[in-house]
A and B are shown apart, each in its own frame.
Chain A
Amino acid sequence: MACCRAILLAGIALIMSACPGGSNHTAVQESFTVNIAGSTSVMPFSEKLAEHFMLEHPTFAINVQAGGSTAGVQACISHTVDIGMCSRELKADEKVLTAIPICYDGIAIVVNPRNPVTSLALSQVRAIFNGSIKNWSELGWIDRRIDAVSREEGSGTRGAFEELVMGTDTIDDATMVQDSNGSVREVVATDPYAIGYLSLGIVDARVTAVAIDNVKPSPVTIHEKQYKIVRPFLYLTLGTPSEAAQLFINYVLSDDGQSILLKEGLIPAYDFS
């Protein structure tokens, strides 16, 4: 019986492996378009994935556009894109969409390399951004005002930071605002007294990621669930996606796709959940 099943499976596998060649031949004339839009944090990685995917599937055109998490959600609900990108958890009224976590990203709290403060408690980070700690002397450094840098309203990174760090507190109005991960890094890299938050994948040698509650953010500490400021990168679809979109999503979730994300400093979906 088991022998029979094995032969049957082998037969099916043989037919299936023969199939792609045949279908490829007919698909030469046909081309598929998948439109993706949303979070600026997810976009660079989606672009990279799309590049690799299109190398293997030359008949596919995958268009990746930025616009922000909220815009991605809206575009997906109104069905103007096949896949929406989102870098925060969905809100209650957005739950009509199917959310597929493609990977996880840590949010690093960063300071200038000249800053000797390299470890903070989560409550201290909250106090800096809600405006109750205003001076570096309160954190054991020189008597100098803290230049806190946040993101603009509606940003997925800000949304995740508010949810994971601020809780019920709000970010102080005196906090500076920059409009991308890159600009936040630029300000923190040039201003010795600045502190900001950005995607762990964006952190480089020009800024120092602070240890939170004595845990340094890294793929390892996130994987072991010691570092807590972690958010999902989501692909969103409305109902059942088109065949082409599904094929791309499958590729992203495959070992190939996930290893690309791992190389970019992100935590693969299967590793975390």
Chain B
Amino acid sequence: MTSPNAATRERLVSLTLTVFAFSSLFFLFLIFLFILIEGLPLFFKAGIKHIILGFKWAPTRGSFGIFPMIVSSCMVTVGALLIGAPLGLGCAIYLAEYAGKQGRIYLKPSLELLAGIPSVVYGFLGVVYIVPVIREYLGGSGFSLLTTSLVLGIMILPTVISISYDALMSVPRSYREGSLAMGATKWQTVYRVVVPSARSGILASFILGMGRAVGETMAVIMVAGNALKIPSGVLEPLRTLTSNIALELAYASGDHRMGLFSTGVVLLIIIMILNYIANFVIRRKVLK
């Protein structure tokens, strides 16, 4: 008597959950469709070459070149990685290998807190503290590639640390024991055995960190200065793809608006490539 009822209920639950699961895919599809519909017409109208390799962005006068922004986005991403990767990896190694239970209890939650701070707060701190310091001691206006890299470098730390930490922790205990038994010191074990074994996971953490840096918007608008030129030094202002969209969307109409959506198309493609590489790197580790 109760069993067919239970079976129906079971089926109902599984059906509902399937719908929920696919709804996220559905939203992704909608976002894709929306951006493409809004952005693609301009690629045909103005030409892919004109948009992607064009140097001049003056959308109200018919120039839609976003090449400087693509380069700037790449520059801040690399800059963020130069700062965030060594710091993050160091922190992950400490957490996984050196910190005792006590250390982990305090460090892990505070790192999660770091991930939860809204980006506008990072941007605000950047404007109030980092910008004036750089202006006073290094020159320039302070709104610069260096400032943006510093802020983004801190922002990608949680991503880098948590994924690297998981990779380090998944290295079997026997590897460490074997290395120590052969007379290696703790650091030699970490440096020669544990880190190389966790290499692909660490690499994936860097790539996902890059994805976070490319996509960050609010903090970047606040500290980058948003000038349209490719920066000629680390103290020069710059504008990334994301900040271009956020800065101008409120005022845009017609071709200008479409130009911003084509910026979005380019951004989407860059993020997709980064995610694909990260997935590929992680999967290779699983297969090995």
Q: Which of A59-91 contact B (CB under 8 A)?
A: 66-71, 73-74
A225 to B140: give the CA distance in the assembly, Å.
Answer: 37
**A177 and B253 within 8 A (CB):** no
Closest Cβ of chain B to A173, distance in Å, is 4
A66 to B68: give the CA distance in the assembly, Å.
Answer: 29
The answer to the question of B54 belonging to the interface, with a C-beta cut-off of 8 Å to chain A, is no
**A67 and B225 within 8 A (CB):** no
| Chain A residue nearest to B225 in the complex (CB) | A176
Closest Cβ of chain B to A231, distance in Å, is 16
| Contact of A177 (CB < 8 Å), options: B56, B141, B247, B256 | B247
**A178 and B226 within 8 A (CB):** yes
Residues of A within 8 A of B227 (CB): 173-177
Contacts A173-B227, A176-B227: A155 and B239 contacting too (C-beta < 8 A)? no
The answer to the question of A44 belonging to the interface, with a C-beta cut-off of 8 Å to chain B, is no
| Contact code string A144-182 (vs B, CB < 8 Å = 1, else 0) | 010100001111000000000000001001111111000
**A154 and B226 within 8 A (CB):** no
Residues of B within 8 A of A66 (CB): 250
| Contact code string A174-209 (vs B, CB < 8 Å = 1, else 0) | 111111000000110011011000000000000000
> Which secondary structure characterizes the binding site on chain B?
mixed
- 4 closest A-B pairs by CB: A154-B251, A68-B251, A147-B141, A177-B226
A74 to B246: give the CA distance in the assembly, Å.
Answer: 19
| Contact of A155 (CB < 8 Å), options: B143, B225, B251 | B251
Contacts A153-B59, A154-B252, A190-B131: A179 and B247 contacting too (C-beta < 8 A)? yes
The answer to the question of B248 belonging to the interface, with a C-beta cut-off of 8 Å to chain A, is yes
The answer to the question of B229 belonging to the interface, with a C-beta cut-off of 8 Å to chain A, is yes
A73 to B252: give the CA distance in the assembly, Å.
Answer: 11
User: Could you give 7 example pairs across A and B, Cβ below 8 Å?
Assistant: A147-B141, A173-B228, A173-B229, A175-B228, A176-B225, A179-B250, A190-B131
Closest Cβ of chain B to A218, distance in Å, is 29
Residues of A within 8 A of B247 (CB): 152, 177, 179
| Contact of B253 (CB < 8 Å), options: A71, A170, A176, A178 | A71
Using a Cβ–Cβ cut-off of 8 Å, how many residues does chain B contribute to the interface with A?
31
**B59 and A191 within 8 A (CB):** no
Contacts A153-B59, A194-B141: A74 and B253 contacting too (C-beta < 8 A)? yes
Using a Cβ–Cβ cut-off of 8 Å, how many residues does chain A contribute to the interface with B?
29
Q: Which of B231-283 contact A (CB under 8 A)?
A: 236-237, 239, 246-248, 250-253, 256
Residues of B within 8 A of A193 (CB): 141
A174 to B246: give the CA distance in the assembly, Å.
Answer: 19
The answer to the question of B126 belonging to the interface, with a C-beta cut-off of 8 Å to chain A, is no
**A152 and B248 within 8 A (CB):** yes
Of B58, B142, B250, most A-chain CB atoms within 10 Å: B250
**A177 and B228 within 8 A (CB):** yes
**B132 and A68 within 8 A (CB):** no
A17 to B177: give the CA distance in the assembly, Å.
Answer: 97
The answer to the question of B199 belonging to the interface, with a C-beta cut-off of 8 Å to chain A, is no
Contacts A147-B141, A190-B131, A194-B141: A152 and B251 contacting too (C-beta < 8 A)? yes
Residues of B within 8 A of A190 (CB): 131-132
Known: A190-B132, A194-B141. 16 other contacts (CB 8 A): A67-B251, A70-B256, A147-B141, A153-B60, A153-B248, A154-B60, A154-B251, A154-B253, A154-B256, A173-B56, A174-B229, A176-B237, A177-B227, A178-B226, A186-B127, A193-B141
Residues of A within 8 A of B226 (CB): 152, 176-179
The answer to the question of B221 belonging to the interface, with a C-beta cut-off of 8 Å to chain A, is yes
A145 to B225: give the CA distance in the assembly, Å.
Answer: 15
**B58 and A170 within 8 A (CB):** yes
The answer to the question of B135 belonging to the interface, with a C-beta cut-off of 8 Å to chain A, is yes
Residues of B within 8 A of A187 (CB): 141, 143
Closest Cβ of chain A to B127, distance in Å, is 8
| Chain A residue nearest to B235 in the complex (CB) | A145
Residues of A within 8 A of B253 (CB): 70-71, 73-74, 154
A210 to B184: give the CA distance in the assembly, Å.
Answer: 70
